[in-house]
Structure 1
C-alpha cells in the first residue's frame, strides 16, 4: 500500500493549522500600526504564505479597523478571514458585518476567565461569565458557522472553571477553543499538562479544534506552542517576526520551521509555503519599521552566516555539518545574477520573480524607474537594494508630497540650515529653516510646508548593504496633530536625502489614512 515507512508516516500526520494574527495582535505592538493599503499588502502575502486563518483585525475597535477587515475579506480567497470580538453583541455584529463577504469567515469571541480578570476587570461573578459565554457564542453562531472562543488569561484560570467555560462554549456552538497564555506566564510542561487536563475533563472537547495563543514575556512563546501541539493542540496562533503586545507573540517562522525541520519528532505537518517566509518577514520589517535582531532564528541576518573557521570548513565540506535547514527553504534567495546600469527590464523583472515578488504593472513601472536612477549611483545593485526600492514605492495612488530638491549647510561651527523644495501636484513649495543639526533643520522646513504639528517620536538610520555606495535606510515615527503614530521610510545613497524622504513618506501616509 505504501512505498515506504516515511510515506506511511506522512499520510498519517496531523495537520496543524496556522492562525496568523499579525494584523490584529501584531499591529497592537507600539509603533507597528499599518494603514489600509499596507494591511491589504500584508494580507496578500499571508495568503501567498498559505496561512490557514488570517485574523484581519478587531472590527469593533474603530471604523478604520472595520474597513480594513472588510477589504481583506473581499480580496483574500484561499485563507479563512477572522475578526475578533468581545462577548458583546455589538462587537459580534461589527465582526460579522466586516467579514460576511469572505469566502470562508470566522468570528473570534473572547472573555476572561481568570479570578483576577473576573474580579478587577470584568467585575463579574464566575456564573455571570459562564452565562455571557453561552449567550454570546450562541449569538455569534446565528451569524456564522465558524466560531472560535478564547478564554482570556486561561493559563491563570482555575482548571475546573475553565472546563465549565469551554463546555458552555461548545454547547453554544464554538468550533475552535483557544487556550491562550495572555501574559506569557507558562512553562512548556505546565502548558502541556493544562491541555491534557482539559482534554480529559471537558465534555465535547473531542469535537472541536484546540488552539494556543502564546505571549513571549518569559521568552517561551514558541516552546509553549510546540508543547501544546504535542499535548493535542491543532492550531497555533502566531505573528510574523513575533510582533505583538509587550514582548510579542509566538513567531510564525520559528513555529513553522520547528515543525518542518523536526517532523521526525513532532509527527505533524502544516500548510505553510515556507519559501515565502523571508519575504513576509522583510515586508513586516519594511512596513512597521521594526527590524529583527541579526541573531533572530530563521530570518535574522546571521541565521545562516558562519564566521568561525571550523564552521566554515565544515559547511564547505557538507552543509549538514552546521546547517539544519537551507536558506532557500525559507526563501532567502541565491545571488544568481548581478544587476547594474546596463541591466535591462527583462533581467530586472526576472530577479524580482526569483525574490518572490509579483507586482502589478503600475508598481513595476515605478520600481524600474527608481532602479535606473539608483543604477546611475551604484555599480552593483544587490537584492536588499531591490527590496528597499519596492518598500518605498507607494502601494496605490499618488504621493501627496514629493521631494524636488534640497540644500543643506551644516558644520560644527555654524547653525545648520536647510532649504527644502517639494511638489504637491502641479504646485511647488520651498521653505528654509535652521536648527542644531541638518536633519532637524530639514524637518522644520517640511513642517512649514505642510502646515501641520508634526512631532518626531523616533528616528533611526542604517546601511542596507555594504560598501561606500551602500544605500541608507531611514526610519521615522511621527505623530501629526496629536493623531496616531505613523511610520515613514526613506532610502537613498545620501543619508540626508534618505532622512528627508522618510519624513515625507510618513506625512504622505498620514494623508492616505
Structure 2
C-alpha cells in the first residue's frame, strides 16, 4: 500500500518491564462491570434514544444484572439531565445499583452535574481530561503541567460539591486517550488526582484507563495496565478499570489481557456499540468467561430476546456472525461440520459427560436461549448427509440408516443447488416425504395376507394401471416372502436388502416408520420409507417405495407375465 511512511507506532511502552500477566492462564473471577450503553453507546447512535427509550434500556440493563450503569453526561444535554432526574425522583434505581455520570474538569459543568444528582442513593462521578501527546499539542496546546492542573482542579471541585450535595458519591478519574500518553506522565497525573482524593478502604476511588483509541497490539495495552497497577498511589484503595475501544478489532483481547494485568473493572456496552468501531463488547467478554467455567455475574440466558430489544431501542443491527449473539454463530452449513456436530450431540445424549465438548460449538447454545432446531444446522448446497439427517431427526423424528442419509443428502443438496437457496426444515421434510415415503406409482400396494408353515406364505394384492393383481409366494420371513414374490413374479431383480424400523410420532399421531434399501443389478442403491400404524405394513410400504424409485429410472413394461423390464 502507498503512504506507509506517514504512519508510526503512536503508543508508549512502560519504562520498566511489565510482563507478570503473561504467567496467568485465564481470568479467574468476573470484574465489576459498568455498562456505558446509555452514555458512550447512546452518543454514537445515528438517532440517540429519547427519554422513554432510555428508561426502557436502563431496565434492560438491570435485567441483565449490571450493578454500575453510566447514564449520561447530564450537564451537556437536557435529555440526559431529565433522564437522570426521572430515575432518581421516581425511585427507578435499585438500592444495590450505582449510576455513573460523566463530567469534564470545568466548574460550571461539575456544579450542574451534582445538581442533577441531588438525592441519589449511590453514584460515581466520572471526571476526565485528555492527556495524550496529540491532544496536548494539537487540541489544547498546553504543557504537561497545565494538563495536570486541569485534572487536579477538577478533582478538588468534585470533593467540594460532593460535600455540599445530598447523596452517596464515589469518584472516578480517566486520563482520556491514555493509550497515546507517555506512561510516566499518565502515572504522574493519576497520582496527582489520587493525592487530592486520598482514598480509603471504606471510600475507594476508580482509576479508569481507556483505550480511547486502540493504538497497539493487546499485549502492549496489558503491559501498560500492569505498569500503572504496580505504581499507582493508594493502590489497595484504588479500583483499576479499563475502557477499551475496538479501532484495531482487538477490544475484547485488550480487555481480557488488561484483566490479567490487574484491571478489576471493565466499562463497555452490549454487543460493542460505541464511537467509530465501538466499545468493548461485554456480551462477548462475559460469555468468553462462561465458556471457561467462570460465572460472569451477568445474565445472558436469553440472547434472542436481549438482541431483539437491543436492536429495537438502538436501531442498530447486530451482524449475523457477531460472537454469541449473531444469528449464524452456532450454525453450520458445511457438511463435515454438520456431521461432527450431529455425532457430538448424539454422543452427549448417549453418554454422561461432565463437560461440554461438542465439536465446533464453544458453548451449549441452549444455555443462552438458542434452539438446536433451526439454529445449529442449516441446509444449503454445501451441507452433508449428517446435517440433513440431523434436521429430520430433531424436527420430525426420522432416524435414517447411515446409507440412506447419504442418498437423501445428495437429493437435498441437488434441490438447494438448483434453487440456489437455503432449505428450511419444513422444505427438507417435504422433499423426504415426496421422494421416499409411501410411493405407489407405478406399483401400488393394496394388502397382504400371511400363513406360516415351514416358511411364510403370502398373498399380496397390488394395483398396476388401475388393475388389481394377486401375487403368491414364500420366504423365510414376512418381508422376505413379499420381496421374493415381487422379484419372481414381476421380474424385478435386486439384492443386499437392508431394513430398519422404529416408532415415529409426528404431532399427536403415533406411527411406525420403516426404511428399506437394496442394490440393483447395475450397482445403484435405492431407498424407500414406509409409514403406517402397523409396523409390518410400514415395512412393506417401504419396500414398494424403494422398488418404485428404481422403476422411475426404467420405463416399465407390464406385458407378458407382468415383467417390468424390457427384455
Q: TM-score of the superposition, structure 2-length normalised?
A: 0.54
Match of 1:148 among 172, 196, 209: 172
Q: Which residue of structure 2 lines up, in the alignment, with residue 323 of structure 1?
A: 361
| Mean CA deviation greater in 233-242 or 312-321 | 312-321
Q: CA deviation at 1:93?
A: 2.3
Distance 2:190 2:261 in 1: 17
Q: CA deviation at 1:30?
A: 4.0
Distance 1:36 1:297 in 2: 30
Q: CA deviation at 1:303?
A: 1.3
- Give per-residue Cα distances to partners, 1:174-201, cap 9 Å, x unaligned: 6001111111213211001101111222
Match of 2:308 among 282, 285, 300: 282
Contact 2:222/2:257 (8 A) holds in 1? yes
Q: CA deviation at 1:13?
A: 4.7
- Give per-residue Cα distances to partners, 1:75-106, cap 9 Å, x unaligned: 12142101111111222222222234333211
What SS does structure 2 have at the residue aligned with 1:145?
strand
Q: CA deviation at 1:169?
A: 1.8
Q: Does 1:36 align with 2:51?
A: yes
Q: CA deviation at 1:164?
A: 0.8
Larger relative contact order (C-alpha < 8 A, sep ≥ 6)?
1
Q: Which residue of structure 2 lines up, in the alignment, with residue 363 of structure 1?
A: none
Distance 1:94 1:333 in 2: 49
Aligned Cα RMSD in Å?
2.1
What SS does structure 2 have at the residue aligned with 1:318?
helix
Distance 1:119 1:276 in 2: 47
Distance 1:161 1:148 in 2: 18
Note the 1:287-306 alignment, pairs <5 A. Answer: 287-306=313-332
Q: Does 1:332 align with 2:375?
A: no
Match of 2:247 among 184, 208, 217: 217
What SS does structure 2 have at the residue aligned with 1:219?
coil
Q: Structure 1: where are the runs of 5+ without partners? A: 1-11, 337-513
Aligned residues: 321
Q: CA deviation at 1:295?
A: 0.6
Q: CA deviation at 1:118?
A: 1.8
Contact 1:52/1:271 (8 A) holds in 2? no
Q: Structure 2: where are the runs of 5+ without partners? A: 1-26, 163-167, 200-204, 346-357, 375-567
Distance 2:238 2:295 in 1: 19
Q: Which residue of structure 2 lines up, in the alignment, with residue 205 of structure 1?
A: 235
Q: TM-score of the superposition, structure 1-length normalised?
A: 0.59
Q: CA deviation at 1:314?
A: 2.3
Match of 1:76 among 90, 93, 98: 93
Note the 1:98-497 alignment, pairs <5 A. Answer: 98-142=116-160, 143=162, 145-173=169-197, 175-263=205-293, 269-319=295-345, 320-332=358-370
Distance 1:115 1:214 in 2: 19
Change (3 A) 1:289 1:198: same
Distance 2:372 2:72 in 1: 35
Contact 1:163/1:202 (8 A) holds in 2? yes
